[in-house]
A and B are shown apart, each in its own frame.
Chain A
Amino acid sequence: MTDNTSNTPKRVVVAMSGGVDSSVSAALLVEQGYEVIGMMMKLWAEETVDASCNTHNRCCTPEQLDDARRIADKLGIPFYVLDTKDVFRAYIVEYFLDMHRKALTPNPCIECNRHIRFTWLYENARAIDADYLATGHYARVTQDADGTYQLRKGLDEAKDQSYVLSVLTQEHLAHTLFPIGGYPKPQVREIAARFGLPTASKADSQDLCFLGDGDYRRFLREYAPEALTPGQIVLQDGTPVGEHTGLANYTVGQRKGLNVYGAVPLFVIDSDPARNALIVGPREQLGSDDLTAHRVSWISGHAPDGAIRAQVKIRYKSTPADAWITPLDDGERVHIRFDNPLRDITPGQGAVMYDGDRVLGAGIIERRPQQAPETQPSHLETASPA
């Protein structure tokens, strides 16, 4: 699909950030003969105020903007900055807050690719008659004999970003280019040097770009204080062992900062937003060999009829784990049983299913149904379940 041999060059919109990956992507496309247009999204982010009373945010700073514009100038391509603040705030920041209100741990990058990059920006690219949207992600797209498009891991597995792209559709893949997906990172820097482009990397995409200071707990205190209601820390049988400062402050597997002391070290096992309780337990209770996921999509174009074998990533940076996948509810949900238990299955994160380097599909990890507590919850019970 990177064929560009016909007489009229295909038009490609490149999402540019001013960083090396998107700059090299744009440069490669220009070299391959595409008609390339650079676009930068000005996303919503908390604002900070500098000494000259100018407001900035960490993402899309005036410097990054100037960098991207300068690169576009050097490559001889048009460059536009699109105001994406309202739609980003509505779809991503609100999603992030809502998930934390439900004591779930969201991955905003997945939702940003789903709603912003590959829906909002994609539609804006289509509106100027672009044939493709290109990004500087480390991932690849191939086409099968049956015509379906397959999302594959970036060749540089250490940089692979297929996890956060796993929610795209066949239509997206048909119109998406990842020009650097076939290069290892050091070679991308070499290409940047060859084109005379800056070689510095932007922050990794798992960063929460909309935070003023990178501290999501502080962000929640300001924007969703209700997600930080103190409550009880309990054992799985309901026995209270301490107080927590708000469920959103903890992640599954966490041990430090609990301020509870037992005969054995205690870890965060789960949380129960219905009772605003944080559930802890000894190491043996941590981890599980199964999960269910909802909002499942099958990017491969083939929803399985029955159980299949796959490797599953339960976080952006986790190692793929062998598992049996069983579709539920006509493929809208899946049950995943791992060959070996995993310690840090976190509700709200993406469960991305692979066949080798090929992404099959993805869903969002559901909260495990709560076991009935043996003792009644305290006065800190919250009224509404998630």
Chain B
Amino acid sequence: MPAPRTVYLDHSASTPCDPQVVEAMMPYFSEVYGNSSSSHSFGRKAEMAIEDARESIARVLNCKPTEIVFTSGGSESDNLAVRGAGWMQRAHGKGAHLITTPVEHSAVSAPIKQMAGLQGFKATFLPVSSEAWVDPEDLAAHLRDDTAVVSVIYANNEVGTVAPIPQLAALAHTRGALFHTDAVQAAGQLNLDVQALGVDLMSLSAHKFYGPKGVGALYIRDGLDLVSAQAGGSHERGRRAGTHNTPFIVGMAKALEIAHAEREARTAHYRAMRDLLIDGILTRVPDVLLTGHREQRLPSHASFIVRGVDSSKLLMHLDMRGVAASGGSACKTGNPEPSGVLLAMGYSPEDATGSLRLTVGHHTTADDITYAVETVRASVEKLRALAKMFAS
């Protein structure tokens, strides 16, 4: 018996590819199939499409097209930014001190830990508040003359908190450090103007804003001679080797164009749905906390701690009733480590295992929210009764 209805509330994990995006991509599979590096007419057509895409993205980011590097997605962009900038800074004698936060996506924190563990870098993890807020004063206190790179996530993937990027970036620059932000969750919802943000490096991933999976971009401020993390051919001016994925790059540009044009209407809808969801969960489900910042929050993002409930079981119960949710970040191993983000925010390991993330999209309706809230309520009730049976 299939679930009576399905409600997708995991837009932070991925979004459906917009049909207009798919349409824009289609010619670049079998019609315009040349390698953009080839000098013949086939290659030139592909190159044309890629450079148009680059310009289109640059318009949204308010930067030069040459400042955009195409990658395979958010994780690659983060790795290239953190490693490439760190290695470059050290090579230029700036130093080997990295500053980040304990609430980053692992695509930022893992390379930083690796650089600290294997390559002689020093890493500082700033404190965060119980709402995952990064206080600029804490950054000011930890900046040093040898600080090479500061990386702070724009909108947190697990708890939705939006960081004060312009202030943090300006502070980093006072000590000559480069500033990177992972804007993977922010893209499509928050301001991506790199001049206004003041960032030197910014990561994007297309499938979070109704584009295809497997393609992303990194904004690299002019003049930064980043060391390539993936070496090889001279694609992307030597900063990222590998044949261009023409259709996906075209798709990403189209998706960002649409997201940018419709940003106000979309985020107004997200906010309305999200607030319905937060109110519904907090009033209908007992012993639940909202995690992350109440106001400085991604419009599409609601996240909770459901006390006394194992998140993976809650997700199973929701899935059985057609509601697609997440425990904070994707984990299907059955080996749930309490989320490091929630621990850094000061939650106990017990609380952290009860995390629930519900993220809305532009197809989400008020009916969906009503159904989801009731489903969460009923599932939590069952699981709490079950947990009581096995309480030791």
Contacts and interface: CB of A to CB of B under 8 A. Distances in A.
Asked if chains A and B come from one complex, the reply is yes
Interface of A: 8-9, 11, 35, 37, 40-42, 60, 62, 65, 69, 78, 80-83, 87, 90, 120, 123-124, 127-128
Nearest to A69: B332
Given A42-B335, A60-B334, A82-B334, A127 B1 contact: no
B341 to A, nearest CB: 19
Contacts of A40: 334
A127 B317 contact: yes
Interface in B146-181: none
Contacts of B389: 123
A9 B320 contact: no
Given A40-B334, A123-B389, A127-B317, A83 B383 contact: no
Contacts, number: 52
A35 B1 contact: yes
Given A83-B310, A128-B316, A128-B320, A123 B386 contact: yes
Interface string B320-341: 1000000000001111100000
A82 B313 contact: yes
Contacts of B334: 40-42, 60, 65, 80-83
Contacts of B336: 83
13 contacts: A40-B334, A65-B334, A69-B332, A78-B319, A78-B320, A82-B312, A82-B313, A82-B316, A83-B312, A87-B390, A127-B317, A127-B382, A127-B383
Contacts of A11: 1
Given A9-B1, A87-B390, A127-B382, A62 B333 contact: yes
Interface of B is mostly: helix
A205 B317 CA distance: 29
B332 A81 contact: yes
Contacts of B320: 37, 78, 128
A211 B167 CA distance: 53
Contacts of A127: 317, 382-383, 385-386
Interface residues of B, number: 20
Given A9-B1, A83-B334, A128 B317 contact: yes
B30 interface: no
Contacts of B392: 90
Nearest to A60: B334
A233 B333 CA distance: 48
Nearest to B335: A42
Given A8-B1, A124-B313, A83 B335 contact: yes
B309 to A, nearest CB: 12
B1 A80 contact: no
B337 to A, nearest CB: 10
Interface of B: 1, 310, 312-313, 316-317, 319-320, 332-336, 382-383, 385-386, 389-390, 392
B257 to A, nearest CB: 35
A80 B319 CA distance: 10
B312, B316, B385, most chain A CB atoms within 10 A: B316
A67 to B, nearest CB: 14
A62 B333 CA distance: 8
Given A41-B334, A83-B313, 14 more contacts: A42-B333, A65-B333, A65-B334, A80-B334, A81-B332, A81-B333, A82-B312, A83-B312, A87-B390, A123-B386, A123-B390, A127-B383, A127-B385, A128-B317
Contacts of A65: 333-334
A78 B2 CA distance: 11
A82 B385 CA distance: 17
A366 B336 CA distance: 39
B313 to A, nearest CB: 6
Nearest to A55: B335
Contacts of A42: 333-335
A259 to B, nearest CB: 42
A316 B335 CA distance: 31
Contacts of B319: 78, 80
B99 to A, nearest CB: 25
Contacts of A9: 1
Contacts of B316: 80, 82, 128
B390 A120 contact: yes
Contacts of A123: 386, 389-390
B386 A80 contact: no
A386 B24 CA distance: 76
A124 B386 contact: yes
A60 B336 CA distance: 14
Contacts of A8: 1
Contacts of A90: 392
Contacts of B310: 83
A133 B230 CA distance: 50
A69 B332 CA distance: 10
A245 B255 CA distance: 71
A78 B312 CA distance: 14
Contacts of A37: 320
Contacts of B385: 127
A321 B389 CA distance: 38
A42 B383 CA distance: 18
Nearest to B390: A87
A42 B390 CA distance: 16
A72 to B, nearest CB: 11
A161 B317 CA distance: 31
Nearest to B353: A83
Q: Which 8 A-B pairs have the closest CB atoms?
A: A81-B334, A42-B334, A80-B316, A127-B382, A128-B320, A127-B386, A35-B1, A83-B334
A38 to B, nearest CB: 11
Contacts of B1: 8-9, 11, 35
Nearest to B316: A80
A11 B382 CA distance: 18
Nearest to A120: B390
Contacts of B386: 123-124, 127
Contacts of B333: 42, 62, 65, 81
A80 to B, nearest CB: 4
A246 B64 CA distance: 76
Contacts of B390: 87, 120, 123
A49 B241 CA distance: 34
A368 B262 CA distance: 81
